[in-house]
């Protein structure tokens, strides 16, 4: 998980969201508030034109904020299809129509895993998993909020296990929040994700290694066998340096669109103390900023 870039919605969309939120907020009873929020959410695309347009904009901007190419912001693997409420509407109806509470997630993360599972921290920093139908005692989320926090300060990809490891001490509030987030999303429990992160790690390495070799080439005969037959359309008449610059730019763009950006995030940290990665980053130092 990465922190999402912050983007605003238009004034008219904000106003539409506020109208819906006010409808929810004016109901005094918690259970009735939840049911109102859920009903309004279900019917959000069948209302008037202004409302439909507002949710089209919400989805469009969330897409542009998503990691890689419209990939789920939680697992970084599947297509991001659903508007997910970070604070679930079943526990926090007062955040159902808040722009700041949205991100795009895949069906697996949104529906199958996170669903209504959520936890808060009480005053003693103990984790309280919320029970369906009960009003939370506070809104101190034990779930990391990638709209406003950098998840990589809590959990980081580990290249040996291909799992995420918790950074803060486990008995601190931050350590507990990291653990809860991993558990709710099943980021370490899903074998398909673990395998995909391993593959992503290897691909990042192999692609960067080939680029280093391409940049070291001093003539077309050395460079040509290192070019990808389907992607790299150059010929021997082009200046070598121009080709090499294009290859570098293309790989940067490719990395920025690749799934599992958390793997790449961790690799850039590894570049400082792992000899194999350090060799590649010494050859292409600007890759540390990709």
Site of interaction with Zn ion (CB under 5 A): 72, 74-75, 78, 106, 109
Q: Which long-range contacts (CB under 8 A, 24 or more apart) does 167-170 make?
A: none
In angstroms, give the least distance from the CB of 231 to Zn ion: 28
d(CA 252, CA 244): 13
Residue 78 or 96: the one with the smaller Cβ distance to Zn ion is: 78
Nearest C-alpha neighbor of 251 from the set 201, 207, 283:
207
In angstroms, give the least distance from the CB of 73 to Zn ion: 8
Element (H, E) at 245: helix 240-257
Where does residue 156 rank: exposed (0-12), middle (13-18), buried (19+ CB within 10 A)?
middle
Residue 74 or 97: the one with the smaller Cβ distance to Zn ion is: 74
d(CA 280, CA 217): 15
Residue 81 or 213: the one with the smaller Cβ distance to Zn ion is: 81
Where does residue 212 rank: exposed (0-12), middle (13-18), buried (19+ CB within 10 A)?
middle
In angstroms, give the least distance from the CB of 178 to Zn ion: 18
In angstroms, give the least distance from the CB of 84 to Zn ion: 9
In angstroms, give the least distance from the CB of 147 to Zn ion: 16
Residue 164 or 281: the one with the smaller Cβ distance to Zn ion is: 164
Residue 104 or 166: the one with the smaller Cβ distance to Zn ion is: 104
d(CA 158, CA 263): 8
């Amino acid at each position: 998980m990465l922190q999402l870039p912050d983007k605003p919605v238009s004034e008219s969309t904000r106003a539409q969201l506020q109208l819906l939120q006010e409808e929810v907020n004016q109901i005094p009873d918690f259970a009735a508030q939840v049911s109102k929020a859920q009903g309004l959410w279900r019917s959000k695309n069948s209302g008037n034109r202004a409302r439909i347009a507002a949710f089209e904009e919400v989805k469009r901007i969330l897409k542009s904020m998503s990691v890689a190419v419209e990939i789920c912001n939680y697992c970084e693997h599947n297509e991001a299809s659903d508007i997910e409420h970070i604070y679930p509407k079943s526990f926090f109806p007062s955040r159902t129509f808040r722009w700041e509470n949205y991100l795009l997630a895949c069906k697996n993360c949104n529906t199958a895993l996170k669903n209504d599972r959520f936890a808060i921290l009480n005053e003693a920093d103990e984790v309280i998993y919320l029970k369906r139908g009960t009003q939370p005692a506070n809104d101190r989320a034990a779930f990391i909020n990638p709209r406003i926090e950098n998840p990589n300060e809590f959990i980081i990809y580990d290249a040996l296990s291909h799992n995420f490891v918790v950074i803060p001490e486990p008995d601190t509030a931050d350590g507990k929040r990291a653990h809860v987030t991993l558990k709710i999303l099943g980021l370490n429990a899903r074998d398909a994700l673990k395998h995909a992160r391993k593959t992503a790690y290897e691909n990042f390495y192999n692609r960067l290694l080939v680029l280093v070799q391409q940049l070291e080439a001093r003539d077309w005969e050395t460079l040509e066998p290192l070019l990808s037959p389907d992607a790299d359309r150059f010929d021997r008449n082009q200046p070598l340096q121009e080709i090499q610059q294009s290859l570098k730019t293309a790989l940067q763009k490719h990395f920025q669109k690749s799934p599992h950006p958390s793997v790449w995030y961790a690799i850039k940290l590894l570049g400082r103390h792992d000899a194999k990665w350090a060799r590649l980053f010494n050859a292409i130092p600007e890759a540390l900023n990709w």
